[in-house]
Amino acid sequence: MYSQKVMEHFRNPRNVGEIPDADGEGTVGNPICGDLMTLYIKIKDEKLEDIKFKTFGCAAAISTSSMITELAKGKSIEEAVKITRNDVADALEGLPPIKMHCSNLAADALRAAIYDYLSRKMKLSGEEIMSRYGLAPPKHDDDHESH
Ligand code: FES
């Protein structure tokens, strides 16, 4: 059910690991299956100089994580925040429809890591981040568990 490209990234994921002195870090959980992804970024001259991920998830989650690191590496912050889950799925030559939710993890974790960098390192307010980059604060999916 998976494309060759998905299987290839699943077997041989790129940019796996952590960046200990990361400039930004984003962790996102998938509310549907409970899988988890953390993405680390290193920024230089407003560009994503390095990016790594740790993912506990299915084959689609691992492949989309791997692919998003390839798509985002070297991009400017403005370009990186525009990467959508569809871009990731397209680059992987498609994901089965029931696996599309898995690709949310990668795109959301990237945006969460960038948000972390902009707010924590650059000390920008939520409003500034929204007006400059069109980026909203990361959602916390476990919020609804308490209701
Ligand atoms: S089933 Fe959990 S991320 Fe795919």
Q: Find the catalytic residue in 62, 102, 110, 124.
A: 102
| Residues contacting residue 13 through CB under 8 Å, at least 6 positions apart | 62, 63, 65, 66
Q: Ligand 1 centroid vs 129 CA: distance in angstroms?
A: 29
Query: Whose CA is closest to atom 4 on ligand 1?
Result: 102
| Whether residue 59 has its Cβ less than 6 Å from ligand 1 | no
Tell me the torsion sign for CA atoms 96, 101, 102, 105: positive
In the block, residue with structure tokens 């290193």: 42
| Whether residue 60 has its Cβ less than 6 Å from ligand 1 | yes
| Whether residue 108 has its Cβ less than 6 Å from ligand 1 | no
Q: Find the catalytic residue in 33, 78, 93, 131.
A: 33
| Whether residue 106 has its Cβ less than 6 Å from ligand 1 | no
Give the Cα separation of 115 and 135 in Å (integer). 7
**Contact at 8 Å (CB) between 110 and 72?**
yes
CB atoms within 10 A of CB 10: 19
CB atoms within 10 A of CB 78: 12
Which domains occur in the chain, in start order? 4-133 (3.90.1010.10)
58 as an active site residue: the answer is no
- List per-residue pLDDT tens for the chain, 147 residues long: 899 999 999 999 999 999 999 999 999 998 888 899 999 999 999 999 999 999 999 999 999 999 999 999 999 999 999 999 999 999 999 999 988 888 888 999 999 999 999 999 999 999 999 999 999 998 765 544 433
